[in-house]
Homo-oligomer: A and B are copies of this chain.
Amino acid sequence: MLVEKPIGVIDSGVGGLTVVSELIRQLPKEEIIYIGDTDRCPYGPRPVEEVRKYTWEMIDYLLKHEIKMLVIACNTATAVVLEEAKERLSIPVIGVIHPGTIAALKVTQNDHVGVIGTEGTINSGAYFRELTKISSNVKVESLACPALVPLVEKGMFSGEEAKRIIEASLRPILQTPIDSLILGCTHYPLLAPVIQEIAGEGIEIISSGDETAREVSALLYFENLLFTGERPEPNYLFYTTGPIDTFEKIARDWLSIDDITVKRTDLLSVIKEKGM
């Protein structure tokens, strides 16, 4: 039965684990299968065509496992591939951009929303486009923060140096009158406490991970795909294109669960079959 199948999650690396962490918390009965393309991370600075190619390699790989829904847990990949994936796949597909935009439109009181993300995400204009599609009144401030992903990848979630770098990155956007700030990159939630401290209480921080997990729940329910039965313990299976041990360490740390399986894939099986 499709309802028993796992939710498939793809990301350029480990950032999507912030989405997985919320999925496990908000949907504790669901099983998850994840691919992180750690070896080719980050996608942010890559040309659009490369992001498209890599993302489809992950999607094709996951489709070989039966999944009931696909979550593109990477903002850069969502901006490039979401629409075509929604069109081509027969299962529901969710990206991380729309959930953040509707959360922002819900919380903003002054219709002035900020977005930070990688160069790729910000240059794509996807957040601006989604926000203004829904509301003609909303004003949007966008800022690329290329220094933030490296901080997360080095495990520097707090401390004086992290704070200094984040403060310098955010300065331009904090001089605008925004009252809400979308973390438009799935790496950023790990830095959320420091970002909140720097931004101050007047700005509500919106994590695309939390919001995406909620949208997954809403859509599974709407499509009658929620697993509501009983099973011993749900399985969590992770693939990485990079070294297993690094990925495993980060996954255990971030997800606070021990029972995960991490395997390596080079995605080559897919590439070969497609004659690429």
Contacts and interface: CB of A to CB of B under 8 A. Distances in A.
Interface of A: 22, 25-29, 92, 94, 98-99, 102-103, 105-106, 133-137, 210, 213-215, 217-219, 221-222, 226, 228, 230
Contacts of A221: 98, 102
B218 A102 contact: yes
Copies of this chain, complex-wide, total 2
B226 A134 contact: yes
15 contacts: A27-B135, A28-B135, A28-B136, A29-B134, A94-B222, A103-B214, A105-B217, A133-B226, A134-B217, A134-B228, A136-B230, A215-B218, A218-B218, A219-B219, A219-B222
Which 8 A-B residue pairings sit nearest by Cβ, starting from the closest?
A133-B228, A102-B217, A215-B218, A28-B135, A26-B105, A98-B221, A218-B218, A106-B214
Contacts of A22: 106
Contact of A106 (B28, B135, B210): B210
Nearest to A215: B218
A155 to B, nearest CB: 25
A7 to B, nearest CB: 13
A135 B219 CA distance: 16
* Interface SS, A side: helix
A200 to B, nearest CB: 19
Contact of A98 (B105, B106, B133, B218): B218
B26 A102 contact: yes
Nearest to A135: B28
- Residue with the greatest number of chain B CB neighbours at <10 A, chosen from A27, A98, A99, A217: A217
Contacts of A217: 102, 105, 134
Nearest to A213: B106
A28 B111 CA distance: 12
Nearest to A229: B133
Contacts of A26: 102, 105-106, 134
Given A102-B214, A102-B217, A215-B218, 4 more contacts: A26-B102, A26-B134, A98-B218, A133-B228
A92 to B, nearest CB: 7
A94 B210 CA distance: 21
